[in-house]
Amino acid sequence: MSTPTTQALTCPQCGSSYRAEDLDAARGVLTCRYCRSLTLFRGTPASDPVQRPRPAVELPRRFTVEDGLQGLVIRRRWFQPSFVFLAGFCVIWNGFLFAWYSFAGPEAPLLVLVFPALHVALGLGLTYFTLAGFLNTTTIQVGADSIQVRHAPLPWPGVAHIPAMRVTQLFCKERIHRGKNGSRSTYEVWAVLDDGPTKKLVSGLDEPDQALFVEQRVEKALGLADRPMPGELPR
């Protein structure tokens, strides 16, 4: 009896091609060597992998949902305890700079006045970010005509407006940020448009379930069937 072939089959999670050694014929399971997801195998060359039912993601922390006559509205509050620490840091940082200029006075040499300029810029930027963390909410509104993403009350990059009829699929990505103190991950939700390109809907999410929740609810609101996308966040 011949061994079932995995030729031309791809992982429904990340789009990678399977190899013969990825198949556990006894259990009828394929294991992706890249994302480590498991997929059932029906055992015929023409068969596609059978994706197991995708569980619904529960409402994440700091999220609220309204689903009524005006369409779907998802809101995410930015505030989390880390912003309290940042607020204290801003007070100390900006207080030091205030004291510096107060002691220096208007008669101080130009170098004394210009030297902390970069620190002032950093302090102002960090203060604005911290205020946004305390006050801002991201709103994703899905209507019959469009998907809109906005951040308020403080202006912030990442506003989006996409005609709903152009969206054919949504998927999530992990973004890894590397620094001298290690790395951390944030998560994004992207839309695939009907003519091929992709457009970012939401970024900076703290947990993978936040991105997957947005993807699931927006797909449901638009009546889109979920399908795997290359390079997407494993589920």
What confidence score (pLDDT) does residue 44 get? 46
What confidence score (pLDDT) does residue 201 get? 94
Report DSSP state, residue 17.
B
CB 82 within 8 A of CB 88: no
Place of tokens 């997407």: 232
What confidence score (pLDDT) does residue 132 get? 98
What does the block give as tokens for 8? 């031309």
What confidence score (pLDDT) does residue 13 get? 65
What does the block give as tokens for 15? 């789009």
CA atoms in the 13 A half-sphere facing the CB of 182: 2
Residues 6+ away with beta carbon under 8 Å from 182? none
Residue type, 147: I
Q: Structure pTM?
A: 0.72
What is the gyration radius of the CA atoms in the chain, in angstroms? 24
What confidence score (pLDDT) does residue 224 get? 87
Distances in Å between the Cα of 49 and the Cα atoms of 5, 113, 235 are: 12, 66, 16
What confidence score (pLDDT) does residue 14 get? 67
Q: pLDDT of the chain along its 235 residues, tens only?
A: 344 454 457 776 666 777 777 776 655 667 777 666 666 665 544 444 444 456 889 999 999 999 887 799 999 999 999 999 999 999 999 998 888 888 777 676 776 667 788 899 999 999 999 999 999 999 999 998 999 999 999 999 999 999 999 999 999 999 998 887 788 899 999 999 987 788 999 999 999 999 999 999 999 999 888 877 777 887 6
Buried b / exposed e along 55-71 (16+ C-beta atoms within 10 A)? eebeebeebeeeeeeeb
What does the block give as tokens for 105? 């006075």
